[in-house]
Structure 1
């Protein structure tokens, strides 16, 4: 093997075979958002801008979302199980050094997840992160009724994270989720749905998974399929308060509350 090829092979191994004690590369958060790929690991120093409520996924797993930022950009950090309950001891305003966070890319939106390899440490370093008006307005709540349902689709979902299974091979009994990297048995795949809506203000809205079911006022996809006409009537006759994230020219519903008409 020539020296040039040998050097390239060594570099490849050093990146792909990172041990638990090794630390992933550190970049400014704003730069990282453009280059990081799903299931890679990143390290960042950031300020906790907000701490979300403790929620329960469809699988029964507890989770919590923290919004973190530095001087160059911001991201959501998702905590699961006991970390979600304890918040890793974090509060709004803390500056953290988070090593080996796992990258998640869902509908072209990047976030990071605390995995078993991740360490999060509070640091004394001053982080002057502030959310720009554009970032602040991207996370808001709206009240509206639904004028049109532009798309209503169903798809297989991961039994662990409940996100869409993209690349399952129907000829195999087992697969690996593209979002949370966990393995699943084909027989354990769930079913969830996607809604593309138009509000009374002519804003296009997207709802996935649990949020889509909340819009439909049901608890599972089977109820939707068996009662489609009633579900549509419910959608058009209900007024909602919706927490939304506006990113990449999309408005995605992150929480749903029904209002008395």
Structure 2
């Protein structure tokens, strides 16, 4: 499971101005943890902006090859802290991206170029589902419950679920859950393809970090090119993605990592890639 929960007494003593998102490097993996346990990791404006900064760091640092999003405590997130966030909505919408940040849900034209793994346990509502939809691999605990509940609050999902949910799980499956606002369990999330694996509750963090390190052990430029081409297909269609393939292959073949990969193939060993 995610890092151990704090005691109730310790939670009560936490200052309100502490960071809402923990950020830690683990080799080439950036660990991004939602850390507002006393509020079931409900996202206030500060958390959204800190999450944006963490995504910005992951995207621009050439030594970071994969990200892992997880949550401290028993729950991934209770969704938006509407009491705090609603006050920040202007006529232009909600601005959550400070300088150096990257929109975590990438609904502003930006795009994360590094792969993202997510570990989810307990409650995972609204923006948590939308984080799963922008993640590339999602590992769920058996006790997870998901909900895209915005229609129950008189608003719509504004973190990309209206387009990504149908694309990921199919129109009927997405509408079933978005238009009713009902919650569903990990078994259903696996059935429809929102998550890729369901594990025992105490294994979810370790399983997710293992997968993140497996991704980070591959040639990072090749991983990023693979991810970019798949995203291009989603945005502009298969024809555009196919048209880019040969140029990307030529570019990658000229890298040091490609040479290392070829050498490891001949020697039947494992390459230690450099990202060059």
TM-score, normalising length from structure 2? Answer: 0.25
When Rg is computed on C-alpha atoms for both structures, the one with the higher figure is: 1
More helix by share: 2
- More strand as a share of residues: 1
